A and B are shown apart, each in its own frame.
Chain A
Amino acid sequence: MSLVRWMTRATSTQAGAAVTQLLVEPQEWRELAQDVAAAGGRLLALWGTNRVGQCDTLHAVTVAPPRVLAVTIPLDADGGYPGVEDVFPSASRMQRAVFDLCGVRSTGQDTRPWLRHAAWPEDAFPLVANPMPAPPQSPLDDYAFVRVEGDGVHEIAVGPVHAGIIEPGHFRFSVVGEKVLRLEERLGYVHKGIERRFTELPILDGHRLAARVSGDSAVAYAWSYCQALERMAGTVLPPRAAWLRALALELERIANHLGDLGALGNDAGFAVGLAQFSRLKEHLLRATEQALGQRYLLDFVVPGGTRNDFAPAGATVLDEYLVQLTDEVTALRGIYEEHTGLRDRFAGAGTVLPELAAWIGLVGLAGRASGQLLDLRVDAACAPYAELNLRRCTRQDGDVLARVTLRFDELSESVRIVRRILRALPSGNHSIAVTVPLAGAVGVGLIEAWRGPVVVGLEAGPDGSILRCHPQDPSWHNWPALEHAIIGNIVPDFPLINKSFNLSYSGHDL
């Protein structure tokens, strides 16, 4: 079977993008998923939509370069659909989330709730119910963790409130001595009802909420949302707007990589690394503020372009700082590489080999550190990436060291891209007016955030409202990989391994 035969059934292609829309029956969904997997592809997103007072349609986005498929699966009245968790392991939690929010069940065996804890009753579905019923009496629920039994096995329960300045989640370790036999994650603590909230906002305002799905990836989410909206509205983005967005996206990548490189040094006992990299990050944020008006670019990307243009003097400040940053990072990279203590902690810790990474469907930065090539900036490049000649960075070892090294590689590449944009920024407007899309218009946005591919599925309701907006974070695919990465490692290495993935809780929990 091949993916090509499905292409003959494509219903339409989004203008200006490599996204093909495809309508399939529920019973065909597994076959299509298998063909995508056989072509080395990934399931990037899965969500349900309610148009008639119940969830009547399932949507999926898959990518098998060079093809991105936006799949629509109309559901029968009984709402069931075949699960694909054996084809794409990350689908299991996505299918459970679809049930928690929309009330349609896959044939997947794991029917435990995923995003629902005790905030709403199990027979109410937040994307269908109107109004939502009152929360259940008990604010606590029981979750059926998988028990590991045997001589000397015990459990360590960590979270939701963690011992650092990090997001909440729960980790259940089954250990013998200090060796981890099994880790089971439980997420959903920061579920804020983002998808229902979207339906209360005007479609031209939704980018503000999108930017706050995961604040560390604000540019990527806002861009992905705006990309979907602009495709629906037929907006032709001025070239300068696209270039400014790419500038912002790469600055977001550099800032996060700097933060992570410092934190990874610190987690391996090298506090100097944290002091140095956090200093560099602070100066980058200040240069960003001078150039674009904000330290963190939460509302920089708006429908039709960017909120503001470059401050002319800011370009010089930013460019000069990036030259200095390059020198400083090169020096620090040398220190990290020659520090035997760091090497000892980084090498061989939390390994996900390429074969396992391919099976799990690891994406983004962690995927590329485990030999998985996918980078939407190359494989589904939107303007201006096709013109930027981005170098794809990959590593094969799949351990903490590979994820550290890949951050150094990508950081240099992003600095190069930003400096190139600063020199070659096209003239013209930084934004254009966007018309309100017609009710029923659908669009998909895909942007490679620093962590991995961010997908936003958008459907317009009547009078400029949002019928449905589904943001999907790359963390959905990589959280399950962390459970594999920790097996056989010791508990004290978990913070380091976890940090090397640095996955989003908020982006996942929605």
Chain B
Amino acid sequence: MLRTLQQILKTGIVTEVPPAPAEELRVREALQSRIREVLGRALCIRAVDAGSCNGCELEIHALGNPIYSIESLGIRFVASPRHADLLLVTGPVSRHMEVALRRTYDATPDPKLVVAVGDCGACGGVFGDGYASCGAVSNVIAVDVVVPGCPPSPARVLAGILAAISPSPDESTRGSGQ
């Protein structure tokens, strides 16, 4: 126990400053302002692998490490879509996962956000569309933010999540004018 405590103390706090929301990743302008009104910045995410090669999952996992420390931003991964505000979906969507993804989406309470992660989630990537692949996540469910990359870095995924829950520049302008 002493060694564990020493290790923790020796490590100290290694968390870095989070990136700014990446506005260029936003693809859908229909704003989910109610999520922010109700939840502020706190957010529950359900990760769904809808057919990925598992590369994106490695970088999504990294968000939980002490350096990106996503939980310290008030964002956490939950075990059920019924507890989630946002679906973080990796693709391409395999035809065998199409129904499961739709059901997961339907089980997520409104209002909800969807962030598609990776080149495959964005456009089908190297797998494309085919007899077993539906390609992009947006071919199956509505997508708010797309984070390309193969795999995108954790900072990039985080910037995409923050874009999904931050006011868009248009809305900020409207807000400040009131």
Q: Contact: A197 with B128, CB < 8 Å? A: yes
How far apart are A109's CB and chain B's nearest CB, in angstroms?
Answer: 25
- B142 at interface by CB-CB < 8 Å: no
Contacts of B49 in A (CB 8 A): 165-168, 190
- A47 at interface by CB-CB < 8 Å: no
Q: Contact: B151 with A334, CB < 8 Å? A: no
Contacts of B125 in A (CB 8 A): 212
Contacts of B132 in A (CB 8 A): 119-120, 126, 191-193, 196
Q: Contact: B4 with A166, CB < 8 Å? A: no
- B58 at interface by CB-CB < 8 Å: yes
Interface stretch (choices A146-154, A229-237, A276-284, A395-403): A276-284
- B109 at interface by CB-CB < 8 Å: no
- A213 at interface by CB-CB < 8 Å: yes
- A209 at interface by CB-CB < 8 Å: yes
- A188 at interface by CB-CB < 8 Å: yes
Segment 482-510 of A: residues with Cβ below 8 Å from B: 504-506, 509
CB-based nearest A residue for B128: A197
Contacts of B151 in A (CB 8 A): 215, 296, 298
Q: Contact: A215 with B54, CB < 8 Å? A: yes
Cα A218 to Cα B58 in complex, Å, equals 12
How far apart are B53's CB and chain A's nearest CB, in angstroms?
Answer: 4
Q: Contact: A160 with B131, CB < 8 Å? A: no
Q: A165-B47, A193-B131, A275-B65 are in contact. Are A215 and B56 (CB under 8 A)?
A: yes
Interface stretch (choices B97-105, B161-169, B170-178): B97-105
Q: Contact: B55 with A215, CB < 8 Å? A: yes
- A179 at interface by CB-CB < 8 Å: no
CB-based nearest A residue for B6: A331
How far apart are B55's CB and chain A's nearest CB, in angstroms?
Answer: 3
Contacts of B3 in A (CB 8 A): 331, 334-335, 338
Contacts of A509 in B (CB 8 A): 94
Can you name 30 A-B residue pairings with CB atoms under 8 Å?
Answer: A117-B96, A119-B96, A119-B131, A139-B95, A161-B100, A161-B104, A167-B52, A167-B57, A168-B100, A189-B96, A197-B127, A197-B128, A208-B126, A209-B127, A212-B53, A213-B53, A272-B7, A272-B8, A275-B11, A278-B66, A279-B65, A281-B62, A295-B153, A331-B7, A332-B7, A334-B3, A335-B7, A339-B4, A506-B51, A509-B94
Cα A191 to Cα B131 in complex, Å, equals 10
Q: A212-B55, A278-B62, A506-B52 are in contact. Are A189 and B97 (CB under 8 A)?
A: yes
Q: A192-B132, A193-B127 are in contact. Are A279 and B14 (CB under 8 A)?
A: yes
Q: Given contacts A168-B50, A214-B54, A281-B65, list 17 more A-B pairs with CB under 8 A.
A: A119-B95, A120-B132, A126-B131, A132-B131, A135-B131, A139-B95, A193-B130, A197-B126, A212-B126, A212-B150, A216-B58, A272-B7, A276-B11, A279-B14, A281-B62, A295-B153, A296-B58
Cα A192 to Cα B66 in complex, Å, equals 34
- B67 at interface by CB-CB < 8 Å: yes
Contacts of A77 in B (CB 8 A): none
Segment 77-135 of B: residues with Cβ below 8 Å from A: 77, 79-81, 92, 94-100, 104, 125-128, 130-133
CB-based nearest A residue for B51: A190
Cα A188 to Cα B59 in complex, Å, equals 23
- B43 at interface by CB-CB < 8 Å: no
How far apart are B123's CB and chain A's nearest CB, in angstroms?
Answer: 14
Contacts of B133 in A (CB 8 A): 192-193
Among A194, A212, A505, A509: residue with most chain B CB under 10 A: A212
Cα A160 to Cα B99 in complex, Å, equals 10
- B48 at interface by CB-CB < 8 Å: yes
How far apart are B126's CB and chain A's nearest CB, in angstroms?
Answer: 5
How far apart are B57's CB and chain A's nearest CB, in angstroms?
Answer: 6
Contacts of B54 in A (CB 8 A): 167, 214-216, 504-506
